[in-house]
Structure 1
């Protein structure tokens, strides 16, 4: 390519190439012009690729030469001198280093890895040993933060195929990006370079003097979408639309692209016919001018610049700087190089300052270790404590001096065996995490510890360092969590999870006969509906207390569901089970919750040998319990309803009078309607129980002496639904639930709770509605005096057809009360 340095040849090539392109464009269509422009972009791209590949080929050549040198024989000192010479001769190379298989390194810069540095974990090392070829890493900022580099590396093997290590070269990325940034694409086009991590390495507007990696996605989002190779039209970049040609280069390490705005891309077609001849003349003149400019403005200044750069020697003349003539076309480069020299000098001075800061920082670390809440310790190769720091020692109540020169066995005896084993592992290069305990003032303290080996610069173990943390409080919380996970929060009994696990674990021959008792609390739903869940919870706690009191010490008492309990009984017999059953039922029957005696259904089963499956044991016990619940539960629920009504009427005398009178009026109404005797009895009872849902209404609202607020009236209206739920739970009164629910529905559909209308309202509910209203109007209330019978009749007549069934209202007034309906 030396002939390209001759400006005359370059000018001739430029003229011929330009004439050929212009002539072709002049006689072809827009598509042909577009194709040629794409080819032009591709040529620019390929030229740039060739220049970049030349640099990388030189790096690969260096690596191959060094690899061949290593494969034959080498001495560390001679090889260091050799790579330093190679480093100095190659401007593109920032440093050369050989990572040997024993994890040591030879570096042309004299860099010595610190303690703990494992070169086998470095990406260039891992990529090299995974490939037979020279590999290139992604671009990154070097450790000294003064340049962006990439690493080329190659695995080296001896003549006997023995792995020797990895030879690597750090390449200053600016030698690559300068080719791209200096590349001119047309008049307004440019080239760009992106690495495989999406970092924008070369791009107009990026300051190459600032050491940082710019993300293409953040800097120019459209560039982040490029992958592979190709040409894209109407591509928007820098707020311009144009054509971009791009290609993946150097083994998929970079994407190199060139961009030309659409105005320039298509401008030749519009003006080609007018300026073709003049352009040829201009091209010839331009070639001459460019040749002159090349000599005067490029070649001569560049030669001077290179001569001045060769004079740079930081080892001998660190204060030397390149001359900065004002009319030099490469003044910016000279200024940039001088800034780099200034930076290098600055970092040398900063290194001196850093050493001083390091000394201060060491003092800070010691103070930090002494003030930490943990215990930090160091042991020597004999497992003796060298130093111990931290306020955690206050927890132990032991002074740091008590540790020095002693082993953990000396200090803690047999309690230190587990820690002694961990120390031995650490001195063999094994990191360990372990727990230990310490008794202080009859209280057990828990500690979590970690210990790791310490190495010198030759990777020899010289001791170990560890840290211990007091975890007593987290352990206490953990035990609380474990308790909660197997206990019922309400009763404190074991929960269903523990029941299942314990029953399975206790299924052993030594525990036979193994008993299973299932207990179900009768009427819990009625208690919840009538008095609220707090009352139901109180009943559950009472049952739990009785079960704990009656069960034996080794028995396991559990709450396995909402109202279900279970007891696992070891080495039990039938007689004992029967006695326990009777005792439980007797004790609970003497406990009253809101005037309701507690009642449970109980079933049990025994496993006498391994032939009976655990699931069958539980199933048999549950079946027996459910059979008892069918008989005992019905009676219990019916009694509960009666007890609720008694509680309500005993508590409020007016309510008792009201319920009794409504019941009597309903009976009279049934007789007037010729209702059958069985239905008449049901209507009478429905009238008695119609307001049972008021048991759940707060007393201060139920008998408030003043007018109710809208919110309070909404609460009052819930008594119909509460009564429905209470009555539905009892078999004997389940038919009455619908009557209690609907007795405040109005004939015109404006009642509550469901807004039923006309005959959709049950007959008995329509009767209760009339009787309830009449009784309320003719009785004194805390907030008003009663009406006369005549005034109450007028109200019945007035609201017949709206609030009341008109037919039933007429019968009630005429046949039950004996007044004319008018």
Structure 2
């Protein structure tokens, strides 16, 4: 345990002011550190346990989106006793850093063992709990963290050479017997400033340092008779015993209490304790510092704290130490698992035999990293394509670094290797690299790869170099009509056709949207033209749903090194757009026909409604004395007035109950969708405006534009009456249809508000004449 005395209120107030100023200066730094950190970070409200914020690493680990994460409490992931989670929050709320072990359930149901480091933080004047989650199930960490740890270790070697050298000598030469371990503990206790102790499970003090005797005033003989309850009384004793119980449960604890010295003086100390196991027995060991010591040792304690933190973070890495001759002196548990060598087998063996590294591609032995470190006295890292061959032949990709163990005079005593299993991370990096050069939808190369490959291919050796540019006809129309899922299927089918038609050495890429590009090295114009014909032949009978696959192509060939490749690209693009002007129009006209057919096939009620509206609009046009062409166009517009409903789901079109606000909003989009569909095809462009306005009202309260009076086209006003009449008498789902007399009465009532009063009168007369 570490002990430190509370400062008086005025000192604390000054420190808080200073901390507030620092926080204000470092807001942007904290934000960047939080967002970009590879560690899994959560910002938690300590009162509600709600996750207020998280970084991208947290979303990837738990398998949830950012929006999902910030709706949850941290207890959502917790699979063990809630009391442990409450203790973690309590420690943080009391202003203490802490570490706990949990089992967290991910979004896919997988249970992970995690180590959670929590600290209280203040952001924008509010208190939060910052939790850093380490995945102990994976036994790997970030390469960036490893480099940071190595840089820190290098710095620590130079700053605290004597202490680290003594520690390393003790570690690498330690044997399994208790006597040597206790010698090491004695040396460690005396080398670290502060009041140190070791208690057994019965609460008896069995080890201490000189500082312990000096601070408490007890002699060595007296201390050997002391138990933990002799140092504290009252609430302090209760608090200390609770902390001790917590240490033996979780492995770590922290407490503040008044320690009573031999002369009766009370020292307010802070103690941090951990559990140490020797020969199957557990011991409580820690360090405490009083106020007087704190000021003098503040800088040194900060360094010791960093060392402890770094050591804890590095627990999941393999560590092997060797001497100047390259013989193994120390190997930790993780290193034993990764190499397949037990401690007894590895001790004294050559590092090259235990740490057997080969090249990932050639399987040939790589250079000796230990000898490189001994020669240069610098930290070295393995190449990223290194494989560790375990004793049983198992191969693992690893990350590795080696650092020298230095004496004060600069001599190298040995080398320490720190490494980890890199296999899964390497696979993820390869996947990321693949995605960085490939289009996620089609699997073709993306624009980035195309641009880099174009630069690489633009050499005399690849001449003639042909560029073929393709553009999918009618993609926007398909997206507007059938939705983006259908549009994506059209793009995927296009990519498959182009890939099938090309050679293995050709580069087929999707530049974005509906544009594709093919790079053809050592291909003349005639061969490029044959490729285009081959692709066009493959698309002749290809359909995606009811939509035919149609691609407009343009191509150009570079025959001379003096020609700028961007000029070739521009010519291919211009040629493609010239062809698209003619090819795309025919494609759009066909697609519009398919759209109306699809709508009528999936909803017979809409088909009958559209046919009746077409007949009514024709009859009104004849009644008004319109010419034959206008009458025929108006009939067509009436037939197609609801074509935009192709984008409305069947569940809404056929819903028997009243529609809710969201469903009405989707229905009200159909005039705009219909307009976009029809305006894209020359054959129907003239009636598109009438379709857009057929739900406008005479008084200006309609949609989508809120047109009023004669701002609405005559044709749209006619369609509005015909559509409303048929809907009232033949299309009412939520209630019974109106009779002809009731419908006429309703149209007469809405004359001058919803309908053009003159057309309404003509329509009523026409209906009465035919009744």
TM-score, structure 2 normalization: 0.56
CA drift at 1:606: 1.8
Shift of 1:762: 1.8
Deviations 1:259-309 (A, max 9, x none): xxxxxxxxxxxxxxxxxxxxxxxxxxxxxxxxxxxxxxxxxxxxxxxxxxx
Kept in 2: contact 1:427–1:453 (CA 8 A): no
Q: Unpaired segments of 5 or more residues in structure 1?
A: 1-111, 118-142, 147-320, 322-345, 351-360
Structure 1, 777-786 or 520-529: larger mean CA deviation: 777-786
- Larger relative CO (CA 8 A, sep 6+): 1 or 2? 2
Describe how 1:112-511 pairs up with structure 2 within 5 A: 114=162, 372-400=315-343, 401-402=345-346, 404-408=348-352, 412=356, 418-435=366-383, 436-439=386-389, 445-511=396-462
Partners in 2 of 1:803 and 1:392 — Cα distance?
A: 82
Per the TM alignment, residue 624 of structure 1 is displaced from its structure 2 partner at its CA by 1.2
Contact 2:400/2:419 (8 A) holds in 1? yes
Partner residue, 2:671: 720
Does the 8 Å contact 2:331/2:346 carry over to 1?
no
In our comparison, the structure showing a higher alpha carbon Rg is 1
Offset, 1:673? 3.1
Give CA-to-partner distance per residue, 1:636-665, whole Å, 9 cap, x none: 111111110111123323322322232232
Confirm whether residue 521 of structure 1 aligns to residue 465 of structure 2.
no
Structure 1 residues 434 and 668, CA gap change in structure 2 (3 angstroms): same
Where structure 2 has 5 or more consecutive residues not aligned to the other structure, the ranges are: 1-159, 166-191, 196-262, 264-288, 294-303
The answer to whether structure 1 residue 590 and structure 2 residue 541 are counterparts is yes
Quote the offset at 1:409 in angstroms. 7.1
Q: Deviations over 1:124-167 (max 9, x none)?
A: xxxxxxxxxxxxxxxxxxx9689xxxxxxxxxxxxxxxxxxxxx
Does the Cα contact within 8 Å between 2:324 and 2:414 map onto a contact in 1?
Answer: yes
User: Is the Cα–Cα contact under 8 Å of residues 427 and 461 in structure 1 kept in the other structure?
Assistant: no
Match of 1:567 in 2: 518
Aligned partner of residue 747 in structure 1, secondary structure? coil
Deviations 1:756-787 (A, max 9, x none): 22112222110110111223334365555654
Question: SS of the residue aligned with 2:512?
Answer: coil
Residue 278 of structure 1 is matched in structure 2 by none
Q: Are the equivalent residues in 2 in contact too, given 1:426–1:451 (CA < 8 A)?
A: no
Q: Compute the RMSD of aligned alpha carbons.
A: 3.5
**1:19-61 CA deviation, whole Å, 9 max, x = no partner?**
xxxxxxxxxxxxxxxxxxxxxxxxxxxxxxxxxxxxxxxxxxx
**CA distance, structure 2, for counterparts of residue 403 and residue 565 of structure 1:** 61
- Please give the alpha-carbon distance, in whole angstroms, between the structure 1 residues aligned to 2:194 and 2:320: 35
CA-CA distance at 1:380 after TM superposition: 2.6
Partner of 1:557: 508
What SS does structure 2 have at the residue aligned with 1:453?
A: strand
Distance 1:526 1:144, change over 3 A: same
Q: Which moved more, 1:649-658 or 1:371-380?
A: 371-380
- Compute the displacement of 1:691 (Å): 0.6
Q: Does 2:763 match 1:812?
A: yes
User: CA contact under 8 A between 1:686 and 1:739: conserved in structure 2?
Assistant: yes
SS of 1:610's partner is coil
Seen in structure 2, the aligned counterparts of structure 1 residues 464 and 665 have a Cα distance that, compared at 3 Å, is: same
Tell me the equivalent position of 2:120: none
Quick check: 1:734 aligned with 2:685? yes
- Match of residue 107 from structure 2: none
User: 2: CA distance between counterparts of 1:113 and 1:782?
Assistant: 87
**How many Å apart are 1:686 and its aligned residue?**
1.5
Aligned residues: 469
Distance 1:413 1:712, change over 3 A: closer
Q: In the TM superposition, what is the alpha-carbon distance from 1:633 to its structure 2 partner?
A: 0.5
Where does residue 211 of structure 2 map in the other structure? Answer: none
Output one character per residue of 1:98-135: Cα deviation in whole Å (capped at 9) or x when no partner: xxxxxxxxxxxxxx983679xxxxxxxxxxxxxxxxxx
Corresponding residue for 1:754?
705
Per-residue Cα deviation, 1:316-336 (whole angstroms, up to 9, x for no partner): xxxxx9xxxxxxxxxxxxxxx
SS in 2 for 1:604: strand
Q: 2-side partners of 1:448 and 1:414: how far apart?
A: 13
Alpha-carbon displacement from aligned partner over 1:319-355 (angstroms, at most 9, x marks no partner)? xx9xxxxxxxxxxxxxxxxxxxxxxxx99xx9xxxxx
Maintained 8 Å contact 1:426/1:432: no
Indicate the residue corresponding to 1:181 in structure 2.
none
C-alpha distance after superposition, 1:388-421 (max 9, x if no partner): 3332332233344246342527974876864415
Say which SS state the counterpart of residue 675 (structure 1) adopts. Answer: coil
- What SS does structure 2 have at the residue aligned with 1:391? helix
1:503-551: CA deviations, max 9, x gaps?
1111223322222111111111111111111111111111111122222
Distance in 1, matches of 2:357 and 2:493, equals: 51
Structure 2 equivalent of residue 661 of structure 1:
612
| Paired residues for 1:72-111 under 5 Å | none
Show the counterpart of 1:217: none
Partner SS for 2:684: coil
Residues 369 and 380 in structure 2, CA contact (< 8 A), matched pair in contact too? no
Q: Distance in 2 between matches of 1:536 and 1:375?
A: 51
Task: For residue 727 of structure 1, report the CA deviation from its aligned partner.
Answer: 1.8
1:675 Cα deviation from its structure 2 partner:
3.1
Matched, 1:763 2:714: yes
Gap change, CA 1:733 and 1:466, over 3 Å in 2: same
SS of equivalent residue, structure 1 residue 548: helix
Deviation at 1:793, TM superposition (A): 2.9
Structure 1 residues 395, 735: closer, same or farther in 2, change over 3 A? farther
Q: 1:581 — aligned with what? A: 532
Distance 2:745 2:613 in 1: 19
| Separation in structure 2 between the aligned mates of residue 373 and residue 446 of structure 1, nearest angstrom | 16
Is the partner of 2:683 in helix, strand or coil?
A: coil
Q: 2:551 aligns with which of 576, 600, 617?
A: 600
Answering whether residue 634 of structure 2 is matched by residue 683 of structure 1, we say yes
Structure 1 distance, partners of 2:394, 2:340, is: 13
Residue 417 of structure 2: SS of its match in structure 1? strand
- Deviation string for 1:668-727 (max 9, x for gaps)? 323333434443333232212111011111112212344444443333222222212222
Q: Which residue of 2 aligns with 1:630?
A: 581
1:395-448 C-alpha deviation (Å, 9 max, x unpaired): 233344246342527974876864415523334422223333235699752222
Cα distance between partner residues in 1 of 2:516 and 2:576: 11
